[in-house]
Amino acid sequence: LPGLHIFAIALALEVSVGKTNTVTALNNSNVLLPCTFTTCIGFQDLVFTWYFNSTELIYHGKIKNKATEPTLIWHNPRVEFVGSTTKKDNNISIVLNGVEFSDAGKYTCHVKNPKERNAQHNATIFLTVVHKMVETDNTVTLIIVGVVGGLIGLLILFMLIKRVVLFIIKKTQDGKKECLVSSSGNDNTENGLAGSKAEQKAPPKA
């Protein structure tokens, strides 16, 4: 049924390695491989496993319940558990010590929860090992940002100048209109023009 299907999805076990699934480590350093899991109904005797390139087991642990920390079943001597499941997040992250170039590859965090009818889920993270960390050159990015910012500034300045010019033109036109209206309403008496308010002489009698 659709309702039961939605309910099952809401209770599904989820495993995550964070926002990005790639990690870069310097040769001969220690690197964190993050992993967390979520489940809406809790867990009982949960088993989690870390694999290298899908087949090589490097860490195997078990968690009795939310009130207990994981117990180690087996691990590679170079792998150290650094997570915690009694705190807010169900963190089952590990640290790989003394990274070598041969450690580059795919690391899979696998979780099995018997309380969810043995539901299983996993997430993968890819490790790259480098001889030297290369600093990212942001010069081009800064130039692009500067140019775009300058263009936006010029556009704003142009719009302001345009508004000021239009305002001045409007005021000038309004002044001319007022001048014309005032001139057309002037008294023409002094000019003695026809239709003026000046007294007109009566025509001579015959």
Q: Is residue 85 part of a domain?
A: yes
- One DSSP character per residue, 140-157 reads HHHHHHHHHHHHHHHHHH
Contact 116, 139 (CB under 8 A): no
Question: Model-level pTM?
Answer: 0.62
**Helix (H), strand (E) at residue 2:** helix 2-10
Tell me the β-bridge partners of 84: 91
Q: What is the pLDDT of residue 55?
A: 93
Q: Is residue 91 part of a domain?
A: yes
Reply yes or no on whether the pLDDT at 200 is more than 90.
Answer: no
In the predicted model, what is the mean pLDDT of residues 21-50? 95
Q: What CATH number is given to the structural domain containing 33?
A: 2.60.40.10
Residue 185 to residue 83: CA distance in whole angstroms = 93
Q: What is the pLDDT of residue 135?
A: 64
Please give the residue range of the domain that contains residue 79: 16-130
Supply 10's token pair. 């809401």
Q: What is the pLDDT of residues 50-60, one digit of tens each?
A: 999 999 999 99
Q: What is the pLDDT of residue 91?
A: 97
Residue 157 to residue 150: CA distance in whole angstroms = 10
How many domains, in total, are found in the chain?
Answer: 1
Q: Is residue 32 part of a domain?
A: yes
